[in-house]
């Protein structure tokens, strides 16, 4: 069914379609609309699961972990400060191998206070052991939530699906809402094997020896690494069922490109437009969209960028004292590639500022003109 | 269900199947919780000292037999009291300070009516020292005294001047307030105990007062059966009734015919009973009272109901003369009154307004200005201020309306119980004051027969509990709710005969009403402490129905004491 809706509602639709039995959440702008939509449906009897009202995001995540360990699908949504408050529990979710699915609406982190789009909140959580996706629009967010359950429940790791505040969460676009039967076919009910057994009570998170701790971390790393393959496979199965696919990254006009722009999230849409114009002007330019961030698709990135001369990574985030975080990851992934390209870090769209086609053009022209490497991130502003 | 061939739980994450019980967290604490029941203010206010939260709890659990038994331990007449008691329990109910008091009065009636209770569970003590005792007068006080004396194992002879027992309950209170069938059932239950009832025996006439001395202890509860006169001119005219005689006639099922209009003088319960009965005989009724509505001694509900039924009230008037007019109707001359100052009991005094007289004409006049004690057969040393006073030295005890105490059914029942205990103590040669301090219920005058029976032979008396105040109740755990309104017979039907007006609660209404109780100072197994204990150190013994604290693991955090809505759990410092 084709409908006109916000990214937030698209996410709520996905959660409903996945028949998630437990949703524990705490409201925070700009995520609250997801919570409200699900609550409305709960009140009118349209939601199969229950909404659990918690007193904080920390408790929301703790509740999801506990519920997940009883063997059921769980969901929560948060943003910015809420995600930061969850931090401790994020490690517990991954460490307990709880396949919780969460949507994070990327909002800047205080201080100063604000509500605007910025990816620093979720990128700050990159080392918590969560799988991370970044979505371009509401449709992709809806589809990614459905895919997220399929992946999470295969590897027993939690998944965070991120989309930017307002640009995705509040913009209304046409969204295809799948039929329930399709989703049921793609995502049958689960009965997680690792769940509490009333007849054999156990205590989770006991103290373990150094060697055991290391063993579990190694096992988790192996599982995390397998996600790259599994995510690709799940996306292909998804495409078969629903007719839409995304890959874990997406290459556009890369074949003959000498210069490549790298983006994640909603800036990709603008960049798609910008490179068409740049091509018309005779520039050999391409675009690479990063969708999966954790695990980082190192091999895919290496392959896509082989033989390219210059890369410009556009980051709507900054790790102070270093630079754009996607750029750091990209540089690290390319370091062993033969003749690896010069990689430039561009900071644009911080704090929800507009990244217009002109801004992207400015970045492209800047990188085309450069011949020497530069370590410092470059701030690009609108005129 | 999608089945996975993935690694087992333990393989994915570490899990321990050992127990943390080995860690004795109880050693960390500085204080420990303990359970201390308290006396609720309703029970303290009940002259009979009924364990109200307990009977409400049992009733709410649908354990109606045990609920009734709980009442019967302290009061042999719940069917009567559940109808005609002035229920000071409700006035003192903690819940009244929150929203509305619990419907205790109506619940007592419900518990009594819902079960045709066989008395086999109320057994007399096997008393090696059983004595022959007498009770004179089978009204509420005498029946109560005989009941408790019999439970205490004494051989009771109950003497009644009239041909049936019941006293004021039988001959005074009209059927529409207290059906005779209910009274009969309750008296039958009392008389299943080995009590020898002798009716039609009037002391001073059928046997002499001195003949009572064959008994080792005697309880006198002759009641106040004489009608006080108005002491005015014309009082002896035909068609002028005394209230008590009028009610007795009705309760005897005499054919009484009243004219169109009846005037009733008085403001007490008798006046209300007279007025409402006259209304049922087809007369229009006006009540004349010398003070105002606020000073009327009748139970407020009775006044309200009388008014609802269509009785008119005239206040601040006092009759001074009764005569006949030309048509042989009664003409009553009234003096107008005003309130000025207070008497010794702090009631406003009514004084005449000089020269302010007027007359009213009526077909019948019924006076109900108080009852007096028939003292003609009593030895002089037992009389004080025109009332019976047994003093404290002899083997004679007294109670009910004949002594100096409020004239209510429940007060009479309480005096019978107190006398039964006093007589038992007298026969055992023990000091009543010492024992009374151990069996008191709260700080008013109520005594607990249950506690007396507990300590009587063992000599081990439980501690007297403090009274729990509203401020000590954790009202966060209660939701506001209204009392269940009492259903009454249709107002158009109610005046056609003497059928009972109040219909009582059905089981649903009773459940709602019982569940409104805060159960102040007692444990009703709400499980709050159990749920809130962070250590999981509290458990319930399902057999005993008691709460058990695992002190090896209780850290003494005090959460249970805070979470107890009823102030039963208290923290105690460890030395």
CA B93, B410, B512, B39: dihedral to nearest 10 degrees? Answer: 40
- Reading the block at residue B140, the tokens are 């509420």
CA angle (B429 as vertex; B427, B434 as ends), nearest 5: 115
Cross-chain residue pair B2–A202, CB shorter than 8 Å = no
Of B2, B4, B15, the CB nearest to A204: B15
- Reading the block at residue B240, the tokens are 């002028």
Cross-chain residue pair A203–B8, CB shorter than 8 Å = no
What CA–CA distance (Å, rounded) separates B530 from B538? 5
Name the A residues in 228-287 with CB < 8 Å from any B CB.
none
What CA–CA distance (Å, rounded) separates A7 from A120? 20
Residues contacting residue A22 through CB under 8 Å, at least 6 positions apart: A49, A50, A52, A63, A64, A67, A72, A73, A74, A75
- Complex prediction ipTM: 0.71
What does the pLDDT look like over B192-206, one tens digit per residue? 999 999 999 999 899
Cross-chain residue pair A203–B15, CB shorter than 8 Å = yes
pLDDT at B11: 65
Question: What are chain A's domains?
Answer: 2-242 (3.40.50.970), 249-379 (3.40.50.920)
Which of A91, A203, A211, A219 is the best mutation test for B, with the most CBs of B within 10 A?
A203
What CA–CA distance (Å, rounded) separates A123 from A342? 23
Residues contacting residue B484 through CB under 8 Å, at least 6 positions apart: B103, B106, B505, B509, B512, B513
What CA–CA distance (Å, rounded) separates B570 from B575? 16
Which of A97, A194, A204 is the best mutation test for B, with the most CBs of B within 10 A?
A194
What does the pLDDT look like over B472-518, one tens digit per residue? 999 999 999 999 999 988 877 888 889 999 999 999 999 999 999 99
Distances (CA, A) of A107 to A76, A80, A111, A349: 16, 5, 12, 12
Q: Is the pLDDT of residue B13 over 90?
A: no
- Cα atoms in the 13 Å half-sphere on the side-chain side of B281: 24
Which residues on B lie below 8 Å from A193 (Cβ)?
Answer: 4, 6, 8-9
Q: Give the start-end residues of each E strand in chain A.
A: 2-6, 22-25, 50-53, 74-78, 101-106, 131-134, 159-164, 172-176, 203-204, 249-252, 259-263, 285-290, 292-294, 310-315, 342-347, 378-379
Backbone angles phi, psi at B442, to 5 degrees: 70, -155
Cross-chain residue pair A201–B17, CB shorter than 8 Å = yes
| CATH class label, B41-119+467-515 | mainly alpha
What CA–CA distance (Å, rounded) separates B471 from B537? 28
Which of B4, B8, B11, B13 is the best mutation test for A, with the most CBs of A within 10 A?
B13
Q: What is the mean pLDDT of residues B112-139?
A: 82
Is residue B357 within a helix (H) or strand (E), and if so which, with residue range?
strand B348-362
Which residues on A lie below 8 Å from B19 (Cβ)?
Answer: 203
| CATH class label, B227-370 | alpha beta
Backbone angles phi, psi at B199, to 5 degrees: -95, 165
Q: Helix B104-114 and helix B52-60: axis angle, to 10°?
A: 60
Residue intervals of chain B classified under CATH 3.50.50.60 are 123-225+373-429, 227-370
Closest chain B C-alpha to A223 CA, distance in angstroms: 10
Of A190, A204, A212, the CB nearest to B2: A190
The 3-state DSSP class for residue A250 equals strand
Residues of chain B in Cβ contact (below 8 Å) with chain A: 1-4, 6, 8-9, 11-20
Asked if residues A117 and A349 have their Cβ atoms less than 8 Å apart, the reply is: yes
Q: pLDDT class for B5, splitting at 50, 70, 90?
A: very low
Closest chain B C-alpha to A177 CA, distance in angstroms: 24
Cross-chain residue pair B14–A216, CB shorter than 8 Å = yes
Asked if residues A23 and A11 have their Cβ atoms less than 8 Å apart, the reply is: no
Closest-CA residue of chain B to A155: B6
What CA–CA distance (Å, rounded) separates A58 from A113? 21
Give the largest Cα separation in chain A, rounded: 71
A189 has a chain B CB within 8 A of its CB: yes
Residues contacting residue A314 through CB under 8 Å, at least 6 positions apart: A261, A262, A263, A267, A271, A324, A346, A348, A349, A355, A360, A363
pLDDT at B121: 61
> Between A and B, how many CB-CB pairs are < 8 A?
52
Which residues on A lie below 8 Å from B17 (Cβ)?
Answer: 200-203
- Reading the block at residue A382, the tokens are 């609108």
Q: Is the pLDDT of residue A124 over 60?
A: yes
Which residues on A lie below 8 Å from B21 (Cβ)?
Answer: none
Which residues on B lie below 8 Å from A192 (Cβ)?
Answer: 4
Which residues on B lie below 8 Å from A73 (Cβ)?
Answer: none
Q: pLDDT class for A75, splitting at 50, 70, 90?
A: very high
Q: Which of A196-205, B396-405, B531-540 has the lowest mean pLDDT?
A: A196-205
Cross-chain residue pair B18–A200, CB shorter than 8 Å = no
> Any idea which residue has 């299943």 for tokens?
B192
What CA–CA distance (Å, rounded) separates A191 from B2? 7
Q: What is the mean pLDDT of residues B566-571?
A: 94
What does the pLDDT look like over A277-318, one tens digit per residue? 999 999 999 999 999 999 999 999 999 999 999 999 999 999
What CA–CA distance (Å, rounded) separates B563 from B549? 15
Q: Is the pLDDT of residue B6 over 50?
A: no
A190 has a chain B CB within 8 A of its CB: yes
Q: What percent of chain A has pLDDT over 70?
A: 100
Residue intervals of chain B classified under CATH 1.10.1060 are 41-119+467-515
Residue environment code for A294-333, b if the CB has 16+ CB neighbours within 10 A, otherwise e: bbbbbebbbebbeebebbbbbbbbbeeeebbbbbbbbbeb
B231 dihedral zone (left: phi>0; alpha: psi -120 to 50; beta): left
Q: Is the pLDDT of residue B566 over 60?
A: yes
Closest-CA residue of chain B to A220: B12
Which of B6, B11, B12, B23 is the best mutation test for A, with the most CBs of A within 10 A?
B12
Asked if residues B149 and B472 have their Cβ atoms less than 8 Å apart, the reply is: no
| CATH class label, B24-37+523-573 | alpha beta
Q: Is the pLDDT of residue B155 over 80?
A: yes
The 3-state DSSP class for residue A273 equals helix
Cross-chain residue pair A202–B16, CB shorter than 8 Å = yes
What does the pLDDT look like over B293-350, one tens digit per residue? 999 999 898 999 999 999 999 999 999 999 999 988 999 999 999 999 898 888 899 9
pLDDT at B343: 87
Cross-chain residue pair B1–A216, CB shorter than 8 Å = no
The 3-state DSSP class for residue B546 equals strand
Closest-CA residue of chain B to A219: B12
Closest chain B C-alpha to A18 CA, distance in angstroms: 14
> Any idea which residue has 């005037």 for tokens?
B263
A2 has a chain B CB within 8 A of its CB: no
Strand bridging mode B348-362 / B330-342: antiparallel
Cross-chain residue pair B17–A200, CB shorter than 8 Å = yes
Closest-CA residue of chain A to B10: A194
Cross-chain residue pair B1–A191, CB shorter than 8 Å = yes
What CA–CA distance (Å, rounded) separates B500 from B327? 37
What does the pLDDT look like over A209-245, one tens digit per residue? 999 999 999 999 999 999 999 999 999 999 999 999 9
What CA–CA distance (Å, rounded) separates B567 from B33? 12
Asked if residues A109 and A62 have their Cβ atoms less than 8 Å apart, the reply is: no
What CA–CA distance (Å, rounded) separates A104 from B489? 65
Which residues on B lie below 8 Å from A154 (Cβ)?
Answer: 6
Q: What is the mean pLDDT of residues B216-232?
A: 92
Give the distance, in angstroms, between the CA of residue B491 and the centroid of all CA atoms in the same chain. Answer: 27
Q: What percent of chain B has pLDDT over 70?
A: 97
Which residues on B lie below 8 Å from A93 (Cβ)?
Answer: none
pLDDT at B117: 57
Q: What is the mean pLDDT of residues A251-277?
A: 97
pLDDT at B515: 96
Cross-strand bridge partners of residue A4: A174
Which of A70, A151, A156 is the best mutation test for B, with the most CBs of B within 10 A?
A156
Average pLDDT of every residue of chain A: 96
Q: pLDDT class for B3, splitting at 50, 70, 90?
A: very low
A198 has a chain B CB within 8 A of its CB: no
Distances (CA, A) of B446 to B48, B56, B151, B408, B427: 6, 19, 19, 15, 22
Dihedral sign of CA atoms A195, A199, A200, A203 in order: positive
Which residues on A lie below 8 Å from B20 (Cβ)?
Answer: 203
What CA–CA distance (Å, rounded) separates B565 from B478? 8
What does the pLDDT look like over A27-69, one tens digit per residue? 999 999 999 999 999 999 999 999 999 999 999 999 999 999 9
What CA–CA distance (Å, rounded) separates B255 from B268? 25
Cross-chain residue pair A188–B16, CB shorter than 8 Å = no
Name the A residues in 110-169 with CB < 8 Å from any B CB.
154, 156
Cross-chain residue pair B12–A190, CB shorter than 8 Å = no
Average pLDDT of every residue of chain B: 91
CATH code that applies to domain B123-225+373-429: 3.50.50.60
Q: Is the pLDDT of residue A145 over 80?
A: yes
For residue B570, the tally of other CB atoms under 10 A from its CB is 16
Dihedral sign of CA atoms A335, A337, A343, A345 in order: negative
What CA–CA distance (Å, rounded) separates A285 from A274? 10
Residues contacting residue A315 through CB under 8 Å, at least 6 positions apart: A119, A323, A324, A325, A326, A327, A345, A346, A347, A348, A377
Closest chain B C-alpha to A202 CA, distance in angstroms: 4
- Reading the block at residue B285, the tokens are 């009724």
- A203 DSSP assignment: E
pLDDT at B125: 80
A193 has a chain B CB within 8 A of its CB: yes
Strand bridging mode A2-6 / B396-398: unpaired
Which of A91, A193, A209 is the best mutation test for B, with the most CBs of B within 10 A?
A193
What CA–CA distance (Å, rounded) separates A33 from A163? 14
Residue intervals of chain B classified under CATH 3.30.70.20 are 24-37+523-573
Q: pLDDT class for B116, splitting at 50, 70, 90?
A: low
Which residues on A lie below 8 Å from B4 (Cβ)?
Answer: 192-193
Residues contacting residue A18 through CB under 8 Å, at least 6 positions apart: A73, A75, A145, A146, A149, A183, A187
Q: Is the pLDDT of residue B2 over 60?
A: no
- Reading the block at residue B83, the tokens are 């109808």
What does the pLDDT look like over B243-256, one tens digit per residue? 999 999 999 999 99
Cross-chain residue pair B12–A97, CB shorter than 8 Å = yes
Q: Is the pLDDT of residue B1 over 50?
A: no
Residues contacting residue A251 through CB under 8 Å, at least 6 positions apart: A286, A287, A288, A304
Q: pLDDT class for A246, splitting at 50, 70, 90?
A: very high
- Reading the block at residue B148, the tokens are 């408790």
């Amino acid at each position: 069914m084709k409908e006109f809706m916000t990214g937030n509602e698209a996410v709520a639709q996905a959660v409903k379609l996945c028949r998630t039995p437990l949703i524990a959440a705490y409201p925070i702008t700009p995520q609250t609309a997801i919570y409200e939509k699900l609550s409305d449906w709960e009140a009118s009897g349209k939601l199969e699961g229950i909404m659990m009202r918690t007193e904080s995001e920390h408790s929301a995540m703790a509740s999801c972990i506990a519920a997940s360990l009883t063997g059921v699908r769980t969901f929560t949504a948060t943003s910015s400060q809420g995600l930061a408050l969850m931090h401790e529990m994020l490690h517990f979710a991954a460490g307990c191998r709880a396949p919780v699915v969460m949507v994070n609406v990327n909002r800047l982190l205080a201080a100063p206070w604000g509500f605007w789009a910025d990816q620093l909140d979720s990128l700050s959580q990159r080392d918590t052991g969560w799988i991370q996706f970044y979505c371009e629009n509401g449709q992709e967010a809806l589809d990614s939530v459905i895919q997220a359950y399929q992946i999470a429940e295969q590897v027993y790791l939690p998944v965070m699906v991120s989309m930017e505040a307002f640009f995705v969460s509040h913009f209304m676009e046409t969204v295809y809402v799948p039929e329930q039967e399709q989703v049921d076919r793609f995502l049958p009910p689960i009965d997680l094997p690792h769940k509490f057994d009333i007849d054999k009570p156990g205590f989770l998170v006991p103290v373990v020896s150094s060697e055991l701790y290391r063993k579990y971390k190694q096992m988790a790393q192996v599982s995390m690494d397998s996600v790259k393959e599994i995510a690709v496979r799940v996306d292909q199965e998804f495409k078969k069922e629903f007719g839409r696919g995304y890959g874990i990254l997406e290459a556009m006009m890369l074949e003959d490109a000498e210069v490549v722009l790298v983006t994640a999230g909603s800036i990709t849409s603008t960049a798609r437009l910008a490179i068409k114009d740049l091509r018309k002007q005779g520039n050999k330019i391409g675009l690479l969209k990063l969708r999966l961030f954790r695990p980082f698709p190192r091999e895919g990135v290496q392959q896509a960028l082989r033989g390219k001369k210059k890369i410009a990574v556009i980051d709507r985030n900054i790790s102070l004292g270093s630079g754009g975080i996607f750029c750091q990851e990209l540089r690290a992934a390319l370091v062993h590639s033969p003749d690896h390209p010069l990689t430039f870090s561009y900071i644009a769209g911080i704090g929800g500022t507009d990244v217009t086609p002109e801004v992207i053009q400015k970045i492209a022209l800047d990188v085309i003109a450069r011949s020497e490497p530069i370590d410092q991130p470059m701030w690009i502003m609108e005129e | 269900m999608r089945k996975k061939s993935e690694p087992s739980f333990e393989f994915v994450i570490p899990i321990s199947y050992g127990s943390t019980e080995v860690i004795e967290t109880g050693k960390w604490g500085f204080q420990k919780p303990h359970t201390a029941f308290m006396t609720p203010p309703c029970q303290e206010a009940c002259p009979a000292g009924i364990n109200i939260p307990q009977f409400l709890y049992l009733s709410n659990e649908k354990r109606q037999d045990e609920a009734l038994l709980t009442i019967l331990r302290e009061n042999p007449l719940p069917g009567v009291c559940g109808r005609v008691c002035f229920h000071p329990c409700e006035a003192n109910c903690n819940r009244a300070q929150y929203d509305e008091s619990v419907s205790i009065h109506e619940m007592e009636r419900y518990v009594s009516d819902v079960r045709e209770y066989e008395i086999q569970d109320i057994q007399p003590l096997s008393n090696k020292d059983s004595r022959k005792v007498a009770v004179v007068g089978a009204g509420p006080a005498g029946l109560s005294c005989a009941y408790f004396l019999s439970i205490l194992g004494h051989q009771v002879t109950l003497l009644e001047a009239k041909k049936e027992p019941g006293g004021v309950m039988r001959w005074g209170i009209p059927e529409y307030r207290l059906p005779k069938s209910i009274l009969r059932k309750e008296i039958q239950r009392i008389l299943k105990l080995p009590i020898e009832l002798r009716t039609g025996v009037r002391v001073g006439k059928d046997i002499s007062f001195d003949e009572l001395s064959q008994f080792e202890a005697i309880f006198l509860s002759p009641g106040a059966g004489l009608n006080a006169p108005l002491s005015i001119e014309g009082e002896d005219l035909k068609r002028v009734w005394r209230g008590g005689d009028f009610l007795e006639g009705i309760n005897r099922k005499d054919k009484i015919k009243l004219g169109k209009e009846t005037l009733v003088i008085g403001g007490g319960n008798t006046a209300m009973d007279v007025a409402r009965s006259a209304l049922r005989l087809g007369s229009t009724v006006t009540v004349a009272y010398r003070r105002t509505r606020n000073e009327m001694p009748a139970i407020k509900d009775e006044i309200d109901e009388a008014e609802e039924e269509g009785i008119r009230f005239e206040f601040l008037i006092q009759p001074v003369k009764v005569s006949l007019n030309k048509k042989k109707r009664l003409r009553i001359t009234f003096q107008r009154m005003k309130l000025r100052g207070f008497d010794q009991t702090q009631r406003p005094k009514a004084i005449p307004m000089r020269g302010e007289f007027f007359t009213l004409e009526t077909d019948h006049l019924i006076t109900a200005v108080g009852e007096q004690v028939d003292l003609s057969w009593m030895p002089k040393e037992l009389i004080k201020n025109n009332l019976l006073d047994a003093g404290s030295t002899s083997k004679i005890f007294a109670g009910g309306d004949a002594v100096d105490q409020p004239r209510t059914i429940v007060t009479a029942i309480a005096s019978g119980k107190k006398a039964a205990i006093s007589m038992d103590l007298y026969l055992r040669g023990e000091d009543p004051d010492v024992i009374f301090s151990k069996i008191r219920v709260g700080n008013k005058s109520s005594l607990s027969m249950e506690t007396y029976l507990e300590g009587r032979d063992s000599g081990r008396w439980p501690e007297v509990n403090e009274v729990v105040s509203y401020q000590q109740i954790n009202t966060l755990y209660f939701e506001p709710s209204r009392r269940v309104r009492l259903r009454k017979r249709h107002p158009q039907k109610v005046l056609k005969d003497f059928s009972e007006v109040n219909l009582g609660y059905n089981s649903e209404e009773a459940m709602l009403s019982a569940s409104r109780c805060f159960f102040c100072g007692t444990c009703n197994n709400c499980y709050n402490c159990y749920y809130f204990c962070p250590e999981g150190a509290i458990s319930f013994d399902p057999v005993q129905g008691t709460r058990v604290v695992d002190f090896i693991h209780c850290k003494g955090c005090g959460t249970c004491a805070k979470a107890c809505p009823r102030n039963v759990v208290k923290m105690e410092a460890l030395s």
